[in-house]
Amino acid sequence: QVQLVESGGGLVQAGGSLRLSCAASGRTFSTYTMGWFRQALGKERELVAATAWNGGSTFYADSVKGRFTISRDNAKNTVYLQMNSLNADDTAVYYCAAAWHTSTLNRAYAYDYWGQGTQVTVSS
């Protein structure tokens, strides 16, 4: 069982930056592929970024490439999402998710555990 707790969301002006953090419980964090999803009001949940458990690959949605960076610190059981050049379209609830020992990064069904989410609001 893995518990995920997101933090770092908030209100930011367009063009600004935020860093989201997701702290995971358990001793096997390094065996989990980690992803950040988001869901805007009235829209489906979408994958924003993901990093493979073995560090072999990362995934970014086209809409965030060049602006967002996902990273992980296995010693701290934490995954981060650095978000720069934010715009109103980035407004959403952001969720952290974990998938055990998989190379499937970009499918929501691969993820076994989910956090409660953190709200990011970008004012224009």
SS3 90: helix
User: Is the predicted pLDDT of residue 10 greater than 90, yes or no?
Assistant: yes
User: What is the rounded end-to-end Cα distance, in angstroms, of the chain?
Assistant: 40
For residue 107, the number of C-alpha atoms closer than 13 Å in the C-beta half-sphere is: 5
Spacing of C-alpha 55 from chain mean position: 15
Residues 6+ apart with CB under 8 A from 91: 40, 120, 121, 122
Report residue 41's pLDDT band, with 50, 70 and 90 as the boundaries: very high
Report residue 103's pLDDT band, with 50, 70 and 90 as the boundaries: confident
Report residue 23's pLDDT band, with 50, 70 and 90 as the boundaries: very high
How confident is the model over 71-94, as pLDDT tens digits?
Answer: 999 999 999 999 999 999 999 999
| Cα–Cα distance, 82 to 7 (Å, whole number) | 12
| Cα–Cα distance, 86 to 95 (Å, whole number) | 17
pLDDT of residue 1: 84
pLDDT of residue 33: 96
